[in-house]
Structure 1
Amino acid sequence: MKLPEILMALLLASMLNNSADAETIRIAIGTQDTTINCATGGLLIRELQLLEKYLPHDGKYKDATYDIHWSNFTSGAPLTNEMVAGKLDIGSMADFPGTFNIDAFQKAGKRSLFINVLSGSTSGSGNGVVVPKDSPVQSLAELKGKTISVPFASTAHGMLLRAAAQQGWNTEEDVSLITQAPEIAGSALQANKIDAHADFVPFAELFPYRGFARKIYDGAQANAPTLHGTLVDADYAKKYPEVVTAFLRAAIEADHLIAAEPEKYSELIAKHTGIEAEVIYLFHGPLGLQTRDFTWKPEYRQALKTSFDTLKLLKRTSGDLTVDQFIDDQYIRTAFQQAGLDYDAHLKNYASSPLSAKDARTGVAITDFKRVAQLWVAGEALVRHYASPESAFADLNALEKAGKKIRVVYVQDSKLGIKLLAANAWFVQHKNSVSSFLLKDEAEVFAKANGGSVLSFAAIKNIYAN
């Protein structure tokens, strides 16, 4: 080959390489904004433009451009449909719909990967069952023979099936299960058209907060771990691993931001979802109802295994699915390493979002977090923390006498250890101490064993008002 021909060939090769480097890379992400424990894998990344901060611009990405698309869904099933159709590359959903995602990909001759956890509970808290506010029902056992609605194929559906099994119910005979989306169920509860509704984050707390329902069952009672996390099309992850890692770096930063300023970012999430900041803080504030946790703890792996087993029980799959086939932690491990974090140390950490505070009334440092109570005063940017319900109720009385409006009161359940909306909790006062409970029958058992009587929120407030 003559020199001019060689130069021309080299020029052509260079042009081809530059064309490849200048590829426009689509990043199509499916979020669930109203499923607020997905915020660090969706809404916060989008609104704070964190993904753009971490996308690679070197090596094979030197001249690449990015075409970022965000799509919002109210549940995991339609998000999965878009992923399988090739319209989305990344999506966030819970364990149960995540197994549907994996199964749907497999049936289509494709493969999806669960790459990280975003938020969850190793005990199962977050999913729950509510009844109309004036219903006489106080426990799940009382719903035998009744109609319970639930979004089918959701993580709440999986919880309800497991809870029914623990009750010894045959779900074909002992209870009537119907499918309802949260927005439909809310109206049905207000009109007393259903006996109960089971749902995922945040509706088992949101409906009681809005005053038309009572929570009678928390997923922690089933002791069945639950999570929300991120899935990715396996072919996309193989082609663009650095892009997937960048997404996870953005999620890690979102997590750090909300941990540092939970009130501020609860308000931001509220602005974009219509869900009250008081409910969002219940999950994302310190000692929250669920824990933001990006690592694949054994309990979360078990949650997926249980979901696969439930799919088979429902005869929704005949495939032989195993957890290890579809959990891939290499991307989150790389993201942790790039962020200077120790993945294995986080993997061993089971603590809820930490609280470092002094009692707002006494000024004494809080060291025992089992009895923490909190007040969010209208007009104040930060939530007030208290070492005990007694301290909080004493301050609550003083604040209200001074004309202050209280946005919300939180207490910790004395048995389940989860954060509660105090307005919907039950209390027992004994030996100058107050214990808090989600369930009235648990409060009654405690009162019988320790003395005292079971009190509503209004009643316990009245004691401290005198």
Structure 2
Amino acid sequence: MKTLKWMRAFAVPVFLVASMGAARAETVRVAIGTQDTTINCATGGLMIRELHLLDKYLPHDGKYKDVQYDIQWKDFTSGAPLTNEMVAGRLDFGAMADFPGTLNAAAFKKAGKKSEFITVLSGSTEGSGNGIVVPVGSPVHSLADLKGKTISVPFASTSHAMLLRAIKAQGWDPETDVNIITQAPEVAGSALKAHKIDAHADFVPFADLFPYRGFAQKIYDGSQTHAPTFHGALVNVDYAKQYPEIVVAYLRATIEANRLMAQDPEKYSLLIEKVTGIEATVDYLYHGPLGLQTRDLTWKPEYRQAVASAIDTLKLLKKTDVELDANSIIDDHFIREAFKESGLDYAAALASYAKQPLVANDAQTGKPITRFYDVAQIWVEGESKVRSYAQPQEAFGALESLTKQGRQVRAVFAQDHGTGLKLLAGQAWYVRSANGQIAAFLLRTSADTYAKQVSGNVVDYASARADVAQALAAR
């Protein structure tokens, strides 16, 4: 009776009184900053969130026995605002590229704190993923044609570093031989459409997305710089010290997302498209077999070097005055533990440089495909799996049949004959040999060189398809 009088006097709800006698469960925040439109971060953010993978691995024993988790997600279009949120203590994890990740570490150090890279998510030891595009119809076919021209790029990004290296390789002075201006991808897209810039350098996925959308032509791939690049995940070190098991849980979720993507890249490319609006075709270009980048979660020497190069370049650009050491902002012990708990061999993965393999039979002959530099693929609308062909001419022949049947095609892919680089077939140059064989190339200059070697002719995509159609009709 006394309790009821006390409750009425102070207007305390009955359910609150009941809970006051119970032990309060600790709530642990897990706040993750993502970059959904930077699609090679997908296995460290978007997929974990959309498939609720983190829930499977968060600990619920020991000191976490009575813990309740407050999982928070926040999406960003670039690394800088994500870093601001991390430094302010509103995020615990973040996903970004080597350059903004290095700025993240510098910002933390300036604030008397520390952040560390804990895993690579996706990257290229050669530099693929970054690229340079020009407006459709431009007379520019290679980087060498850009002397004296205006090139835009997101400043202090990984693509900015790629551009500076590419210019240096030409023997040019970036201050006088070209006009470099800063533009975000969304601004550059409009500028390319209006032919207001001569070229644009950008990171994943824009150097391939703009060409796919039909208003740009890719003339340079970052792999030509042979300078490693990657996107990875970082953590606030204070948080990692307090909750190391949660860091490992996040990485185990990343490992599972990576496995799912490898098993069914078409399905999860469609998921990325649904969430971000970036076409599944471009997502598959990166995440599918023989893709532009590898989803490599290990700390290869090349990725450590990418961080060291980022530190040096950012100092050169006067974007940071904080002293950093690459090894001090990379911590591989969490990802090693996550591999161990997932039953995987970290040492074997560290030693492997292989792309996601293509295990497929030729859609025309039914025979297993064993040579991959001339593979071509077709993603037919409504089909759950991409069709693979051993040669471009086989794929182009199949396209003629599909067209006659009124079937819609999402995209056609080809592999650069010289480098193995995965290409959107409509963006490639082709060499037609006298025996009817067709080889694809990203660069017109590479196609010209090969044509001389085989006494072939260089043609564009439309002409290559027309040649195959004519040959079929003559049979």
CA–CA separation in structure 2 for the residues paired with 1:456 and 1:370 = 18
Q: Which residue of 1 aligns with 2:469?
A: 465
Write the distance in 1 (CA, Å) between the matches of 2:36 and 2:79.
11
The residue number in structure 2 matching 1:442 is: 446
Match of 2:219 in 1: 216
Match of 1:392 in 2: 395
For 1:434 and 1:109, how far apart are their aligned partners in 2?
Answer: 59
Tell me the distance in 2 between the aligned counterparts of 1:128 and 1:416.
15
2:245 matched residue in structure 1? 242
Structure 2 partner of 1:173? 176
Matching of residue 112 in structure 1 with residue 115 in structure 2: yes
Structure 2: state its 5+ residue gaps.
Answer: 1-19, 471-475
Q: What is the TM-score when the length of structure 2 is the normalising length?
A: 0.93
Counterpart of 1:458, as a letter, is A
Residues 199-220 of structure 1 deviation map (CA, whole Å, 9 limit, x = unaligned): 1111010000000000011000
- Report the equivalent of 2:8: none
CA displacement at 1:416 relative to structure 2: 2.3
Aligned to 1:371: 374
**TM-aligned CA deviation for residue 326 of structure 1:** 0.9
- Asked if structure 1 preserves the Cα contact closer than 8 Å seen for 2:122 and 2:230, the reply is yes
Q: Percent identity?
A: 65
Among 414, 418, 424, the alignment partner of 2:421 is 418
Q: Helix, strand or coil for the counterpart of 1:369?
A: coil
Once the two structures are superposed, residues 201-260 of structure 1 have per-residue CA deviations (whole angstroms, 9 ceiling, x without a partner) of 110100000000000110000110110000001111111000111101111111111111
- CA shift, 1:374, in A, is 0.3
Counterpart-to-counterpart distance in 2, 1:358 and 1:461: 22
TM-score normalised by L of structure 1? 0.94
- How big is the shift at 1:316? 2.4
SS at match of 1:230: strand
Q: 3-state SS of the aligned residue for 1:410?
A: strand
- Within 1, Cα distance between the matches of 2:158 and 2:359? 32
Match of 1:313 among 316, 341, 353: 316
Residue equivalent to 1:251 = 254
Q: Aligned to 1:461, what secondary structure does the other structure show?
A: helix
CA-to-partner distance for each residue in 1:288-319, whole Å, 9 max, x for gaps?
Answer: 11110100011111111111111121122333
Greater displacement, 318-327 / 83-92: 318-327
Deviations 1:87-125 (A, max 9, x none): 111000011111111111111111110000000011110
Please report the RMSD computed on the Cα atoms of aligned residues, expressed in angstroms: 1.3
2:140 aligns with 137
For residue 124 of structure 2, what is the aligned residue in structure 1? 121
Matches of 2:344 and 2:259 in 1, distance apart? 12
Alignment partner of 1:264 is 2:267:
yes
Q: Which amino acid aligns with 2:450?
A: F
Contact 2:156 2:319 in 1 (8 A): no
Amino acid at match of 1:291: T
Structure-2 residue corresponding to 1:68: 71
Letter matched to residue 439 of structure 1? L
Distance 2:29 2:373 in 1: 47
Q: In 1, Cα distance between the equivalents of 2:405 and 2:50?
A: 38
CA–CA separation in structure 2 for the residues paired with 1:158 and 1:108: 26
- 2:358 corresponds in structure 1 to 355
Alignment partners' CA distance in 2, 1:241 and 1:151: 35
Distance, in Å, in 2 between the alignment partners of 1:265 and 1:317 is 37
In the alignment, is the contact (CA less than 8 A) between 1:77 and 1:153 conserved in 2? Answer: no
Q: CA deviation at 1:402?
A: 2.3
Structure 1: gaps (5+ residues): 1-14
Aligned-partner SS, 1:370: coil
- Kindly provide the CA deviation profile for residues 391-433 of structure 1, in whole angstroms up to 9, marking residues without a partner as x: 2122222222222222111000112221000001000011332
User: Greater CA deviation, 77-86 or 358-367?
Assistant: 77-86
Moved over 3 A (4+): none
What code does the residue aligned with 1:456 have? D
Give the drift of 1:169.
Answer: 2.1
- Residues paired across the two proteins, number: 449
For the 8 Å contact 1:311–1:317, the answer to whether it is kept is yes
